[in-house]
Amino acid sequence: MVGKIEKWGIFEYSAKGKTEGNPFTDYSISAHFESKSEDKTVSGFYDGGGNYKVRFMPSFEETYRFTVYGSFSEETFSGEFTVMPPSENNHGPVCVYNKYHFKYADDTMYYPFGTTCYVWELQSDELISKTLETLKNSSFNKIRFCVFPKHYDYNFGEPRSYPYEGTPVDSSAITDENFWGYDAKSKGNNWNFERFNPIHFQHIEYCISELQKLGIEADIILFHPYDRWGFSTMTPEQNELYLRYVTARFSAYRNIWWALANEYDILKHKSVEDWDRYAEIIMESDPYGHLRSIHNCVPFFDHKKPWITHCSIQKQELCSVEHTDEWRNEYKKPIVFDEMTYEGNIQYGWGNITGKELVRRFWEAVCRGGYGGHGETYLDGNDKILWWSHGGALKGESPSRIAFLRKIIEEAPIGGLKMQPPSWGDLCAIPEDDEAAEKTGYRLFYFGIKRPVFYNYHFDDENIYHVEVIDTWNMTIKNAGEFKGRFRLELPGREFIAVRVRKV
């Protein structure tokens, strides 16, 4: 068997196998892949209908030989395929770079500008299509979403599918008013936690593939507490079976990130030792080492643990983003605010800040050497389709301003930014790489809610600097001229102004 596949694409081998008993637990399928530069063994999975599959993401432009084997069949299967150069928009998986930042496998920088849509992929075909079209026309290059359905205010409908064979609780009596007192267990669930529903996972794979076409990373939330079906209270053995199945199915997609939990501290049935064990399972089962994180509600997990590749943070207080540089120094890892409250108008404090405040938090995070995360929770009349959970169309003011910021960051010297030690509370970002900082003289000042009408600068007496005044809300960049030595820069005296400085 000879075929062709692009570098960091997916090679998939499918074979018929045994169906007696429970194919999800009774039989195994694995494959060994070998080329001049790479040697990997990967686990496969049962995909229903007597079909067993194994997937592989090649990392080199070489000829690969493979052997598929396991108890699923009395036979072994072998062949080879040739790996071609990656297509134009294929940069490979994302990894940590320069300790606090990210890059793709081909060394292209990756600056995360993410959004949250918890169960967008479990909605109707029409709404999913609308979400993908919205994402296509946005600047977001990462999206957080769940494998399991979500039970929470504005999320009382049933998902399009379930991850297991069985039947769900009766949700007809659940409303916004009785949500917090609703006893889901009294209605009963009937799931077989040892028999997956392949249709559920096939559909998620379709959504991951569509995101990949748009250049968007899929930040997969593996566990969460908002649950009326019993998926958050499975046994450790059931959780392990689930994790091995999910990683076998999803790992070969280059745009996968693993988020062990959304708000881990609310999942009372899981201990710190459980999370460490589940992380170990993921690392054992994912041969490509995709990024891994765990997200908090209030207390942080210990982000110093070696299995955590980056800090996924929900704000703890009003001024959390102002601690970005402190947490960088403490954890020595990238800081990503995946949840710093949402632009919207619902009743909860986490979902009703203004677009201006969300954009301010993005700028604060970036200028302090971290990254921000978008979310939107707007009610529009009787419409209870909120982007934060369902996707659809964006209604807020922040997405276009976030796109403006992303463009500015992508124009900065390669390698990411860090905060320059402050002087009298001034916020200034400089290149993470000291050599790049010296060579370019790049500085990005952000005044936020401060409104100076002028500012005095002095960088040195030798170089000429080109200076621009940026209105981060109105999305304008004004050329202020070239300066040397000490100079006074006139400013508009309003909020949300930034100044960009570069050597001529």
Three-class DSSP category at 157: coil
| 50 is a domain residue | yes
pLDDT for 270 beyond 70: yes
Contact 279, 332 (CB under 8 A): no
Shared domain check, 312 and 223: yes
What is the three-class DSSP state of 454?
Answer: strand
DSSP 8-state symbol, 9: S
CA dist 504 and 465 (Å) reads: 5
> Is the same domain home to 174 and 321?
yes
Q: What gap in Å lies between CA 360 and CA 449, rounded to an integer?
A: 8
Which tens digits make up the pLDDT trace of 165-212?
Answer: 999 876 665 655 555 444 444 456 899 999 999 999 999 999 999 999
Q: What is the pLDDT of residues 37-80, one digit of tens each?
A: 999 999 999 999 999 999 999 999 999 999 999 999 999 999 99
Q: Could you say which DSSP state residue 85 is in?
A: P
The per-residue pLDDT for 439 is 97
In a domain, 99, yes or no: no
pLDDT tens digits, one per residue of 319-361: 789 999 999 999 999 999 999 999 999 999 999 999 999 999 9
In a domain, 290, yes or no: yes
User: In the predicted model, what is the mean pLDDT of residues 82-97?
Assistant: 97
Query: 25 with 113, same domain?
Result: no
The number of folded domains in the chain is 3
- Residue 427 is part of which domain span? 417-503
Give the per-residue pLDDT at 317.
Answer: 74
User: What does the pLDDT average to over 13-29?
Assistant: 98
| Whether 205 and 188 share a structural domain | yes
143 in the same domain as 170: yes
Q: 257 and 219 in contact (C-beta within 8 Å)?
A: yes
Same-domain check for residues 366 and 499: no
Q: Do 287 and 190 sit in the same domain of this protein?
A: yes
Written as one letter, the residue type at 248 is: A
Does the residue 98 lie in any domain? Answer: no
d(CA 398, CA 140): 12
**93 occurs within a structural domain:** no
**pLDDT tens sequence across 439-459:** 999 999 999 999 999 999 999
DSSP assignment letter at 181: G
Written as one letter, the residue type at 482 is: E
Strand-strand pairing, 486-490 and 454-458? antiparallel
Same domain for 291 and 142?
Answer: yes
Strand partners, 191: 166
Residue 429 counted as domain residue: yes
Residue 19, domain CATH: 2.60.40.10
DSSP secondary structure, 381-392, as one string: TTB---HHHH--
Q: Quick one: 56 and 129 in the same domain?
A: no
| Residue pLDDT, tens place only, 103-120 | 999 999 999 999 999 999
258 falls in which pLDDT band (50, 70, 90)? Answer: very high
Q: Tell me what the pLDDT averaged over the chain comes to.
A: 94
Q: Which two tokens stand for residue 39?
A: 């040697």
452 & 317 share domain: no
Greater pLDDT, 437 or 380: 437
Whether 391 and 317 map to the same domain: the answer is: yes
* Residue 6: pLDDT over 60: yes
- 81: enclosing H helix or E strand: strand 77-84
User: Once rounded to an integer, what is the mean pLDDT over residues 121-145?
Assistant: 98
* 499 & 370 share domain: no
Other C-beta atoms within 10 Å of 48: how many?
A: 17
Which pLDDT does position 182 carry in this prediction?
45
- Confidence (pTM): 0.96
Residue 156 pLDDT: 87
- Mean pLDDT confidence for 376-400: 92
Please identify, among 363, 390, 410, the residue that sits at the C-terminal boundary of a domain. Answer: 410
